[in-house]
Each structure stands twice: as structure tokens, then as C-alpha cells.
Structure 1
Amino acid sequence: MSAAAGAALADAAHRGPVARLVVGLGGLYVAQSVIGGVIFTGLPAVMRKSGASLDDIAFILLTVLPWSFKFLWAPAVERFRSPHGGVRRSRSAIALFGAFAVGAVIACALIGPTALGPLTVAMMVASFSSATIDIACDGHAVESFAERDRGWANAAQVGGAYLGSAIGGGLFLVLIDHWGWQPATLVMACALVALAAPFLLTPDGAVAARQDKPPQSLKQALKRPEIRSGLALVALYVLGQKVSMLLVGPFLVDAGLSLTAIGTLNGLGVTALGLAGALGGGWILRRIGAYRVMGWTLGIQMLVMLAFAVVAHLKLDAPVALMAIYLASAGTLALGFVALYSELMGRASLDQAGVDFTLFQSMDSIVSLVGWRIAGYAGDRLGYAACFAAAAVLALGVSTLIPRFARAQAG
């Protein structure tokens, strides 16, 4: 038997049943997003209620920066997780950094929401650990899912993000309201352990990496044209889909929707549609392909932005219509990103899957942050209608470029 055939059989044996993989990885993705929901949504609300200034709240949100720059330490994580000629250690890597994440959340419970300095340090440790787990988790997913099943992997990733955000940014606040900061935060720590358990307690079935596998590095990734074109694809798609999302929440408030209505919309409607879009994406991708889904979702996003622009320009009093438009955007966003990351999975090398996929995610995060900053600046000066109209034009422009990536990949 040839070495290539032997490696193929070993990889085939390493790929477990799809349902088991989806449950295990889905739990990890939910757990990571629980931490993100606590930082992004839960903690700012608690701090504000405790009398913190907006400057203090903005300062602690810097703890999410590890997610933008995790590509810098991704090669080191992958060299530990998948050592040269050694057995893959996905569970060991995730258990190690998961312990740091849980410990940091427990520390937050003991510190309290008013001690800004220690709380920032603890949340930075939690964020760094969570981002590092994501590197190992993505590498394991690329290795474990066959090409035809990658839509399910990305459904677990995107759906997990929605569900985790609902827990960390919704349930967390409800628990604080009833039980207080410390018990609620300790419940979040326990939730992280419970969510990771299905993955950590399942036999790994890992195989040794090839002896001739090149060392994992950013340089190795950027040498490959499919990675460079994948980074361009991420940047363009994120600009077309996400750049205006920062303005939607403030626009709904200014349009007269109550905080209760917006909270219910986010907690129930957006989460339900996001999960439906994510889970439906795995089924749809197997039938029509990632690039067609991306093109369609960009077209829907263009219509959504035009609808927001019309409502803003005419100053219409249409709360029900606004909520419907917002929900359409949420479902479309989830479906589109399942398609995008399914395509990107195919570009990641099995020799350094975590490094390659982390580069794509970091590009997503960095472009999102820059785009939101520009959108916020333009929104203050040009108004909602102009910004939403510009976002619609941008989505249309990106949708015309997507087929070029499909043709280039096919060639």
C-alpha cells in the first residue's frame, strides 16, 4: 500500500460519525460564544447598571482583541495540537485552554463587576483562552469532516455562535437580575464545562501526522494562492454583509422601538432565525453550492438595506415592518456565513488547518471592526438613509464579484 493510500485510510478512520462530530464541536462553539456574549452584551449592561462610565465600558470591550489577532499565535497552537510526526492532541489542547477559560470566569465571579482593573485582566484571560480554543477547534473540524459534510461543520459553528450569544448575553442577565452577579457568573462557568463535556469525553481516534508534514507557519499559509484569494473573498463578503450592521440597533431605537421590543427581537427572533439559517445551511449547501448561496444572500442583504434606507428617508412609522426587515437580515446573515466558511474549509490545508482557518476568521474580525468604525463615523455625519443606501450598493457590487471567485476556484 502506498504512503498516500495509507494516509487516506487513516484520515478516513479519524473522521467520526457526522452527528457525533456536530454535537461535540457544536458544544465547543456554543461555549466560546457564551464568553463573547458575556463580554459584548451582558457585562456592559451590568457595568452600566452599577454606575460605570461609557469610557470604562468601552475600555473593557478591548478584551475581545485576541479574536482579531489570534492568527499571530495560531502556528504555535497547531504545532502543539498536531505535532510533527506525532499523534494529534485536539482534546488535550482544548482541555488545557478550556481550564484557563473556566478559571477566568470563576475569577470574574469572585472579583465582581465594579473592580475594573482585575475584571479586565480576568476577561482578557477568558477571551484569549476562548480564541485559542477556537484555533484548535477549527483545525480539528477541518481534519474531521469530509468535504460533503462541511456545511454541517459550519452550521455548528454559526449556530453555536447564535446560541452562545443568547446564553451569555440573555440568560446571563436574567440570572443576574434574580440571583445576583456571583451566582449567575458561576452558572456560566458551569455551563462552559457542560458544553465542552461531549467533545472532551468522546474517544479521539486521532492518528499520527505525516512525518514529512511541513512545520505550521503563517508564511506557509500565505505562500498558497488559495489562501490569499480566500482572504480577499472574506474581506469582500464581510464588507457586503456586515458593514452596516452596527447602525441597525441604534436605528431601531431612533425609529421608536422600545428596548423591550428590541431585546425580545434579539433574544428570541434573531436567535431562532440565526439557528434556522445555520442548520438549514448545511442542507442547502449540499444541493446548490456555497457560491450560489453567497450570491443569493448578498442579493437579499441589498434588498434589506434598501428597505431600511426607504424607511429612514421617509421617516415612516412602521415598527412591524422594521422588525420583519431586521429578522430577514438575521436569517440571511447566518445562512451566508455558513456558505462562506464551508468554502473556506476547503481551502485550508490538512497540514495546518488551524492556522489557515484562523487567518480567515481574523480577516473577518478585522474587516468587521474597521467597517463598523467607518459606518459609525459616517452615520453621525450622513444619516441612516445615506449609509443604508451605500451598504445596498456595496452588497450589489460584491455580489457581482462572487462568481469570479467561483470560476477561479474551478479553474
Structure 2
Amino acid sequence: MNTPSGHDGQTAPAVPASTAPPLTRYEWALLCSAYISQCVAFSFFFVALSSILRGNGAELADLSFIYLLGVAPALKFLWAPLMDRYGFGRWGHYSRWLVLMQTALIVTLWAMAQLKIGGVPPELAAGATGAAADMNEAAAALGGAGGTGAAAHPPLPWTGLMLGCLAMSFFTACQDMAADGLSTRLLSPSQRGLGNALQMACGSIGFIAGGGGVLALYEYAGWQTALMCLTVLNVVTLVLALFYREPAHARPDVVVRERMLDYWREIGRFWVRPDTGWRWAFIIVMLQAGVYMAYSVMSPMLVDAGWSFTKIGQVANGYGTALGMASMIGFGWLLRHWSLNRALHVILPAQVVGVLLLAIPLLLKTGALGAGLPEIAQGAAAAGGTAAPDGAAAAAGQAAASVAQTGGIGDIWITLGVAGFMMCYMPMGVLVSTLMMGRSSAHAPATDFSVQYGLYLAAGYGAGALGLPLAQRMGYAGLLALAGAVCVLMAVLIPVLHARLGRPPSAATARA
């Protein structure tokens, strides 16, 4: 790649999207495989890897790097103009970027597969029985501050893991941009509805494969087999992209590629508008801070509760995600009839309910609620501006401890708690996208939306990275109490700040 695509005399003028020919079956197959690959990495990081490392004795604070891996993809809009600007001459543009990134991903996954990460601990395979399970319960009684019997596991290859995951995160972000750029140029307006539906469906397949699929393979066949299966999944996309001949209309216009400096200037101009500024930035950063803190400890808590890796993937990555997507669709329908202010007053308190649904059954199962319920009661009361009576909090703690001593709570309640948590927090994605579209200007809508959503994702991953070391120090109960208190505070504060923002440029989209 020595010259910008379009400056070598080889590139024909781009065909407008409205006159682009229908996609061939080969092009649909290429886009579907790319969509699957897009979601594999994030599910692998946040569901599979966190569970596997916790099951191999990792401390909670050591897992925080996983959430920092989401920052690079969230900020990919900063270097997206470079991919639009530079191509590979007559060989193509976005499809060649796709080949390059898929090759890098495959090499990275193969290298990570060579790392030595132990098999399934006996306590997980046997349902958390024996001396190791007793160690887990003792740690959980302190709020989950410790590891899972780290002495029984060989040392983890942290350096190799971190380098591999960083590379995987960056290459996935670039692959995502290449796939999105290609699909945007190939899909005509009449095909975009089907294209978006396929992106959601194939993304769900990738999410399940990277999370639940890897956990099941790891439990039954080990780390290397699980990672090699992910490698093969990416090889399919590479082969399809390698033999694809990118048509002229799939390449970006020369005029668009010359506007890189204008793009970066637009990013700065966005934040000085009356309808954005520090208030809107604060809202974006804090919308899901409490929820991400709670989500960060969900998989480690399920491991500490003695669940098998397969079961964790089935519930967190399967049932929970499916029900969460159903709630997103339902909430999207309600948004047709609600104002955005009303939606904020519904979805923000729903996040408080979601944290409670996740916390109570898991803390009861691990035995941590008996010691931690007074903290939760005091934390929620402090967020609401009241003081909880010490006697009532102590009585609640004794009652929870009694439940834990008599065998804890059934797994069905944990399953319902996880599903309820995801049903309560996932609709926020629909609302926040609607709010951001309303603040995207007519002359630069893609830039404005990318800037907002990138900050939103980076803040969420940052909150998750902060939650794990806090759980190490405060215990699970203390961290979940803090997460609930943050959700309560934001449910009160964010609607007030939102009401004080200036009128957005597209008032029809962002109605009050």
C-alpha cells in the first residue's frame, strides 16, 4: 500500500449508492461472514475470557485489562478517515483492508492458541464440590475479594495474553471499519433494511460463538482447540474476501477522501454547540456507568458460584442475550409513542431494578449477601438521601445469611436474575442511539454520531475496568451496592441535565 486508492489512474468513478446494482450471492456471503467476525472478539473478551481466567485463579483486579480492550474499538472514529483515504490501487479498497485485517486476526488467534492456559478446575466440573469449593465459598463470604484457589493453578501467561488481546482488539476495530465501509458502498437504499437485519442476526451468531461457544469448547476440549475454532471461523471471511473482485462503485469517492482535515475539525466543533457541551458529554459518560460496573463482575460471580463454563455461556450469552434483544425490540416500539424525556424516566430506574435482580440471587448463592446486605441497604439509602436503621440492615443481613447457610438459592433464580438484568439494561442502547441521532447535524451526521457513540462505549468499558479492582477491595456486595447507588443518582440527575440542554438541530428526531 504505497499510494492512495484513486490517485493511480486505475479507479473508475464511483456509482451512486442509489444506482448500485443488487448484491450477488457471493457478496451477501462475504458480508454475512464479516458481520459474524465483527462480534466474536467482544463476546470472547467479556464473557469467555473473563470466566476462563477467573476459573484459573485470576484475581478480580487482574481482569480489569479486559474492559480496557474495548476502548480502542470505541475510539476507532479517530482513524477511520485514514481507511477511507488510503486504498490498494487497482486491487481494491475496503475488500483489501478486510483481507489485511482478517490475516492479522488469524495470526493473532493462532499465536494466542499456543499459550498454556490450564484446563477446567475440578471444582467447576464437579459442581463446586470438595476443598477447592470450600475455598471459593470462604472467599465469597468476604464479598468475592479473592481468587478461585489460585494455588491450585499454574501461572497464567499474562504478558502473552495482554499483547494478544490488544492486537485482537485493534485488528477487530479495523476489520469492523472495513466491513462497514464495504457494506455501505455495496448496499443500495432498497437493500439496507435487509442488510441491517442480517448484520444484527449474524452479529448475534458471532456473539454466541465468541462467548458461549468458546466456553463450551474450552470446558470439553481445552484452550487451544477453542482458539483454533475461532481461527477457522475467521479463515472463512478471509477466503471470501481474498477472491472477491471489488467493483468500482464499492470504492469511496475521491472528493470524500480529500476531506480528512475537515472531518477532524468537525469533531471539535460538535462539542461547542449549545445542545452538547459538558452537560451532554457528562450524560453520555454516566448513562451506563453503574450497569457496566455490575456487568463486569457477573461472569466472575457465576464462576465463584460453582457454575460450569458451558452453563455460564448458555445463560449469560444465550438466554440473557436473547431476552435482552427482545426487550430492545419492545422498547423500540414504545419509543414510537413516548417522548425521549419519558423514556429516560423509565429506562434509568429500570437499570436500578436490573442491578438488584443480578445482585440478590448471586450474592445469596455465594453466601456474600449475609455480610454485604447492610452495605447495600446503606448505599441505596445514601443515594436516596436517607439513613437506613442499623437494626433493620442487620436483621436483613442475618436473614440472608440464614438462606445461604441452608443451601443458598436455586440456579433457576440466578438464571432469572441474569436474564432480568440484561432485559433491564440492553434497551438503553436503543434510547441512546435515538438521542444521539437527534444531536447529529444534517451536514455531518455520520461524524457526529460516531463521536458520541465512541465516547459512550469508551466510558462504559472504563467503568467496567474500574469495577473489577473495586470489587477486589470492596467485595462483590460493596461493588454492587456502589453500582446500584450510581444508577439511582443518575436516574435523578440525568433527566435534569437533559432538560437543560439546548434544542438539537434535528428537533423532529429528538422530540422532548
Query: Which range moves more in the overlay, 145-154 or 37-46?
Result: 145-154
Partner deviation per Cα, 1:146-201 (whole Å, 9 max, x = no partner) = 89998887766666665434322221122123223323211111112336777885
Partner deviation per Cα, 1:9-63 (whole Å, 9 max, x = no partner) = 813224967x999986564343132122333343344445556666765567655
Equivalent of residue 398 in structure 1, options 494, 501, 506:
494
2:488 partner letter: A
Equivalent of residue 360 in structure 1, options 432, 452, 462:
452
Equivalent of residue 211 in structure 1, options 244, 255, 272:
255
Report the counterpart of residue 76 of structure 2 in structure 1. Answer: 70
CA distance in 1, matches of 2:331, 2:49: 33
**Does the 8 A contact of 1:273 with 1:327 survive in 2?**
yes
Q: CA deviation at 1:103?
A: 1.8
Report the counterpart of residue 318 of structure 2 in structure 1. Answer: 268
Report the counterpart of residue 370 of structure 2 in structure 1. Answer: none
Equivalent of residue 169 in structure 2, options 127, 135, 138:
127
Query: % of aligned pairs identical?
Result: 20
Report the counterpart of residue 39 of structure 1 in structure 2. Answer: 45
Note closer, same or farther for the CA distance 1:173–1:265 as it changes in structure 2 (3 Å cut). Answer: closer
2:260 partner letter: P
User: 2:287 aligns to what SS in structure 1?
Assistant: helix
CA distance in 2, matches of 1:126, 1:61: 13
Report the counterpart of residue 36 of structure 2 in structure 1. Answer: 30
CA distance in 2, matches of 1:348, 1:88: 31
2:171 partner letter: S
Report the counterpart of residue 221 of structure 1 in structure 2. Answer: 267
Report the counterpart of residue 408 of structure 1 in structure 2. Answer: 504
**Does the 8 A contact of 2:43 with 2:210 survive in 1?**
yes
Report the counterpart of residue 392 of structure 2 in structure 1. Answer: none
Q: CA deviation at 1:327?
A: 2.1
User: Mapping of 1:305-344 within 5 angstroms?
Assistant: 305=355, 313=377, 314=396, 323-341=415-433, 344=436
Query: Which range moves more in the overlay, 227-236 or 102-111?
Result: 227-236
CA distance in 2, matches of 1:251, 1:187: 25
**Does the 8 A contact of 1:101 with 1:129 survive in 2?**
yes
2:253 partner letter: A
CA RMSD of aligned residues (A): 5.0
CA distance in 1, matches of 2:470, 2:59: 24
User: 1:410 aligns to what SS in structure 2?
Assistant: coil
CA distance in 2, matches of 1:134, 1:176: 26
CA distance in 2, matches of 1:82, 1:242: 41
User: Mapping of 1:82-231 within 5 angstroms?
Assistant: 89-113=93-117, 115-139=157-181, 163-194=205-236, 205-206=249-250, 208-209=252-253, 211=255, 214-215=259-260, 217-224=263-270, 229=276
CA distance in 1, matches of 2:325, 2:26: 18
Report the counterpart of residue 291 of structure 2 in structure 1. Answer: 244
Equivalent of residue 351 in structure 2, options 301, 312, 315:
301
Note closer, same or farther for the CA distance 1:143–1:258 as it changes in structure 2 (3 Å cut). Answer: same
Partner deviation per Cα, 1:65-101 (whole Å, 9 max, x = no partner) = 5335434433322322699xx9983322222212211
Report the counterpart of residue 381 of structure 2 in structure 1. Answer: none
Q: CA deviation at 1:231?
A: 9.5
Q: CA deviation at 1:390?
A: 3.7
CA distance in 2, matches of 1:175, 1:158: 24
Structure 1: gaps spanning 5 or more residues? 1-6
CA distance in 1, matches of 2:241, 2:332: 23
Note closer, same or farther for the CA distance 1:263–1:103 as it changes in structure 2 (3 Å cut). Answer: closer
Note closer, same or farther for the CA distance 1:394–1:277 as it changes in structure 2 (3 Å cut). Answer: same
Note closer, same or farther for the CA distance 1:283–1:384 as it changes in structure 2 (3 Å cut). Answer: closer
1:284 partner letter: W
Structure 2: gaps spanning 5 or more residues? 1-12, 118-155, 362-372, 378-395, 404-408, 508-512
**Does the 8 A contact of 1:154 with 1:342 survive in 2?**
no
**Does the 8 A contact of 2:109 with 2:168 survive in 1?**
yes
**Does the 8 A contact of 2:185 with 2:251 survive in 1?**
no
CA distance in 2, matches of 1:68, 1:285: 28
CA distance in 2, matches of 1:60, 1:326: 20
CA distance in 1, matches of 2:18, 2:190: 13
Q: CA deviation at 1:281?
A: 6.8
**Does the 8 A contact of 2:14 with 2:252 survive in 1?**
no
CA distance in 1, matches of 2:479, 2:164: 38
Partner deviation per Cα, 1:287-313 (whole Å, 9 max, x = no partner) = 558947953533533443576789953
Aligned residues between the structures: 399
Q: Which of the two has higher C-alpha Rg?
A: 2
Note closer, same or farther for the CA distance 1:27–1:236 as it changes in structure 2 (3 Å cut). Answer: farther
User: 2:86 aligns to what SS in structure 1?
Assistant: helix
Partner deviation per Cα, 1:100-155 (whole Å, 9 max, x = no partner) = 11221122223444544344333322221001222334455666778999888776
1:35 partner letter: A
Q: CA deviation at 1:344?
A: 4.3
Note closer, same or farther for the CA distance 1:95–1:211 as it changes in structure 2 (3 Å cut). Answer: same
Q: CA deviation at 1:265?
A: 2.6
Structure 1-normalised TM-score? 0.71
Q: CA deviation at 1:363?
A: 0.8
Structure with greater helix percent: 1
Q: CA deviation at 1:258?
A: 5.1
Note closer, same or farther for the CA distance 1:376–1:182 as it changes in structure 2 (3 Å cut). Answer: closer
